[in-house]
């Protein structure tokens, strides 16, 4: 079975409150056994504009990645993320 991944690009707009999102998303990520492969760190954007923070999260399967995103736990967290940052999420199937 192929794994599923979230690729997330974030510009935090409210650093004081962003930790509320991190605490909330941890509930969903634990429930769906998510594994962080990339969480911040140095980066470069050699071919265009990029956001300031990048995260790659691995799931057991593409369906699990979708289920996590659509779960009530993550949707509650997403509302916080949308308040405290500008971000993009792509959910992909991989190896």
Give the start-to-end residue ranges of the domains of the chain: 3-94
What value does the mean pLDDT of the chain take?
96
Which of the four pLDDT bands, split at 50, 70 and 90, describes residue 39? Answer: very high
According to the model, what pLDDT value does residue 40 have? Answer: 85
Q: In three state form, how does the secondary structure of the chain look? A: CCEEEEEEEEEECCCCCHHHHHHHHHHHHHHCCCEEEEECCCCCCCCCCCCCEEEEEEECCHHHHHHHHHCHHHHHHHHHHHHHEEEEEEEEEEC
Work out the number of other CB atoms within 10 angstroms of the CB of residue 2: 12
- Record: fold of 3-94: Alpha-Beta Plaits (3.30.70)
**Residues 50-80: tens digit of each pLDDT:** 999 999 999 999 999 999 999 999 999 999 9
Which of the four pLDDT bands, split at 50, 70 and 90, describes residue 22? Answer: very high
**Distance in angstroms (rounded) separating the CA atoms of residues 18 and 67:** 23
């Amino acid at each position: 079975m192929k794994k599923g991944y979230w690729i997330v690009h974030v510009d935090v707009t409210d650093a004081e409150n962003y930790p509320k999102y991190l605490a909330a998303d941890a509930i969903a990520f634990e429930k769906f056994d998510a594994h962080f492969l990339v969480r911040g760190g140095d980066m470069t954007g050699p071919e265009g504009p990029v956001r300031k923070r990048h995260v790659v999260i691995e799931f057991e399967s593409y369906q699990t990645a979708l289920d996590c995103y659509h779960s009530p736990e993550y949707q509650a967290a997403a509302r916080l993320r949308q308040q405290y940052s500008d971000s993009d999420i792509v959910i992909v199937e991989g190896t």
